[in-house]
Amino acid sequence: MKRATLIRLLGIAVLSLVWTAAAEAKDWKEVRVATEGAYPPWNATEPSGELVGFDIDVIKEVCKRVGLKCEIIPQAWKGIIPGLNAGKYDCLIAGMQITEKRLEVIDFAGPYAMTPGSFATTKGSPIGEYNSPLELITLNEIDEEEQKVLDEIRELLKGKVIGVQTTTTHSNFLDTYFKDVAKIRKYDTQENVLLDLNTGRIDAAEASLSYWVPIMKKDLGKNVVLFGPHWTGDIFGLGNGIGVRKTDPELKALLQKGIDMIRADGTLQKLAVKWFGFDNSPK
């Protein structure tokens, strides 16, 4: 009798936990989305104050597919993850790479893009004359030929000043592989990196290929040339994702569903070509 009573009590306790979890699960209808607004073509701010770019179009499509009303707000890059965890907004989309370090503090839906990094300099610079025998180096397992090219790039940039946006995977890449041979100058925005590259205050810069390719077609980037191989793997993470708090698994699942939908019907690929000139969607 006592055993039967105990079993019933345990059953009630389990059901109570299930009901409590279900009651606490949030039914998302509206989301506040943060973006930097200073990393074109991923995200940018028009003179009118309107936020535009690949990230903006992606989150609007994702929200539309899963029935979410989204409000998109600007947030400085440096505080974008702390702002998310502080509850200033519900998720973020800012061309952010999914990395092991970031996964320690937030979760991600995605990836919605996969883009390698690349070095750039200005036309006429001797650095830009370097021709790499490799188009891509994957940093997870560097073979002998890749190590040879990496050593050549390190020698090429020895004593030079390289610009990069702070607290990015590109910044981590330079700190890991080039800090001992070159001076790394870090900036709050990618726009300021480009400004100093154009004015000769830095010798080279490193950023996403999806930033360089479109900007080189505009007046701001008409003097920019790429050099060396493209870089992927390891530090560069698992692609670009939409950041969410670890306490919001329902929102993560909803956003993932939206990403999967726009990827399946070709919308994601079309948006990539529209903003970058090539398809950098996950394959």
Q: Hey, do 28-114+239-276 and 117-236 end up sharing a CATH topology, with the first three levels equal?
A: yes
First to last CA, the chain: 60
- pLDDT-derived band at 115, boundaries 50, 70, 90: confident
Residue 10: its pLDDT value, please?
38
Judge if pTM exceeds 0.85: no
For the chain, the structural domain boundaries read 28-114+239-276, 117-236
**Per-residue model confidence as pLDDT tens digits over 148-179:** 999 999 999 999 999 999 999 999 999 999 99
Q: How far apart are CA 283 and CA 242, in angstroms?
A: 17
Structure tokens at 25: 């699960």
The whole-chain average pLDDT of the chain stands at 91
In the chain, what percentage of residues exceed pLDDT 90?
87
Residue 212: its pLDDT value, please?
96
CATH architecture for residues 28-114+239-276: 3-Layer(aba) Sandwich (3.40)
Q: How far apart are CA 56 and CA 39, in angstroms?
A: 12
Q: Which residues pair with 242 in a beta bridge?
A: 109
Q: Where does 117-236 sit in CATH, by number?
A: 3.40.190.10
Amino acid at 148: K
